[in-house]
Amino acid sequence: MCISKRVLSIKPSPTLAIDAKAKALKQQGVDVINFGVGEPDFDTPANIKEAAITAINAGFTKYCPVAGTPELKNAIINKLKRDNGLAYAPDEIIVSSGAKHSIYNLIQSVIDDGDEVIIPAPYWVSYTDIVILAGGKPVIINTSDKTNFKIIPENIEKVLTSKTKAIIVNSPSNPTGVTYAVDELKAIAQVCVKNKILIISDDIYEKLVYDNFKFTSIAEVSPEAKESTIVINGVSKAYSMTGWRIGYAAGSKNIISAMTKTQSQSTSNASSISIKAAVEALNGTQQYVEFMRKEFEKRRNYILERLNAVKGVECRKPEGAFYVFPNIKAFLGKSFNGKNISTDIELADYLLDVAKIAVVPGSAFGADGYIRLSYATSIENIKTGIDRLETALKG
């Protein structure tokens, strides 16, 4: 009876729930292939771990400035200049406990009750609930594999109202792996700048792009776009540091200041040890990042070929991240042992129960009739898992 209406209106993260269920089955001795998890299977690079150990031994274990240490802020500033050609001052940077935390702080700091945030679907599962927790209203633009899961300016203009406050752009995308080209980003930025819409650019998969695709943040496309954009990034995906919980945001001083005030009343600073590790990640050698990227590209090519060879499955080629998002609508409405499978949720349950593979239903991302598979696992696991999927779908 004491739970707030806002908390009651949201749901637990379905990707984390499925990952937890798969891990629980493994602990029981069940041979489960987990395609549900959204984290690299590689270890954190040795130089980053050594930096953390050094920090512990040096006693770097006390409170840090809320928005991040000057050392890490400078590393982030140098990274944004080096990789993206974007210039920021220290008071335009905040470090948080993961990129999700950065997005949460941002939405809490800029969204009032009834404000609308445009979110293209398929979307990362937390976007909508983070907006709802702030009292805002998610406004969904639906896409499909027929439109390459992309939005265009006309889509945005159709949903604009007097309450539109922000839009979330995620490229490369979770769950589809879609990336936007420069001209596509320019067109989206122009309509946002014209209508004074805050752009939230989730760039967390920036380093994981394939086929010689050059990543561009929407903040890069024009000075006006940069002024209208808060860039969200972190070290979790590119450096295999998901558990270290370091994300950051870059943008206008007044919004970063508001985010810092919000964070000061919740978590305060991010972990001091993780901060030192993140400095090394951004300033140190980037060779391991390229090694992981190449391995992910090999896995993407393999899983894509295997999926599209399964009769009834259609899967577009993702340009980035480490997910595939196949269309499985051909299997809905069918049955197994007298049990009807009418939704992607029921299909995901069937695959876990019968095939012992964990996938995430597309409806969790606002896209019914799809499933998401992460290829952040070994080629051997992918081979075994797709063998099982193919057998199960034939049944």
In this predicted model, what pLDDT tens digit does every residue of 190-236 receive, in sequence order? 999 999 999 999 999 999 999 999 999 999 999 999 999 999 999 99
Mean pLDDT along residues 13-29: 81
Mean pLDDT along residues 32-58: 95
Q: Are 83 and 233 in contact (CB under 8 A)?
A: no
DSSP codes, 137-160: EEEEEE--GGGTT---HHHHHHH-
Lowest mean pLDDT among 25-34, 47-56, 182-191: 25-34
In this predicted model, what pLDDT tens digit does every residue of 251-265 receive, in sequence order? 999 999 999 999 999
Question: What integer pLDDT is reported at residue 305 of this predicted model?
Answer: 98
In this predicted model, what pLDDT tens digit does every residue of 255-291 receive, in sequence order? 999 999 999 999 999 999 999 999 999 999 999 999 9
Mean pLDDT along residues 35-47: 94
Helix axes 253-264, 99-110, angle to 10 degrees: 110
In this predicted model, what pLDDT tens digit does every residue of 75-99 receive, in sequence order? 999 999 999 999 999 999 999 999 9
Question: What integer pLDDT is reported at residue 395 of this predicted model?
Answer: 84
DSSP character for 375?
-
Question: What integer pLDDT is reported at residue 185 of this predicted model?
Answer: 98
Mean pLDDT along residues 171-180: 98
Question: What integer pLDDT is reported at residue 22 of this predicted model?
Answer: 81
28 burial class (0-12, 13-18, 19+ CB within 10 angstroms)? exposed
SS3 249: strand
Question: What integer pLDDT is reported at residue 332 of this predicted model?
Answer: 96
- SS3 letters across 73-85: HHHHHHHHHHHHC
Longest dimension (CA), the chain: 64
Question: What integer pLDDT is reported at residue 336 of this predicted model?
Answer: 86
SS3 324: strand
Q: Are 236 and 242 in contact (CB under 8 A)?
A: yes
Helix spans in 231-367 (H): 253-264, 272-283, 287-308, 344-350
pTM for the whole structure: 0.95
Residue 330: partners with Cβ closer than 8 Å, 6 or more residues away = 312, 313, 314
Question: Tokens 């805050």 correspond to what residue?
Answer: 198
SS3 243: helix
Q: Inform me whether the pLDDT recorded for 19 exceeds 80.
A: no
Average pLDDT in the chain: 96
Question: What integer pLDDT is reported at residue 181 of this predicted model?
Answer: 97
The pLDDT > 70 percentage for the chain reads 100
Q: Are 234 and 247 in contact (CB under 8 A)?
A: yes
Mean pLDDT along residues 19-48: 90
Residue 110 to residues 40, 171, 200, 201: CA-CA distances in angstroms?
32, 22, 11, 15
Distance CA 62, CA 256 (A): 23
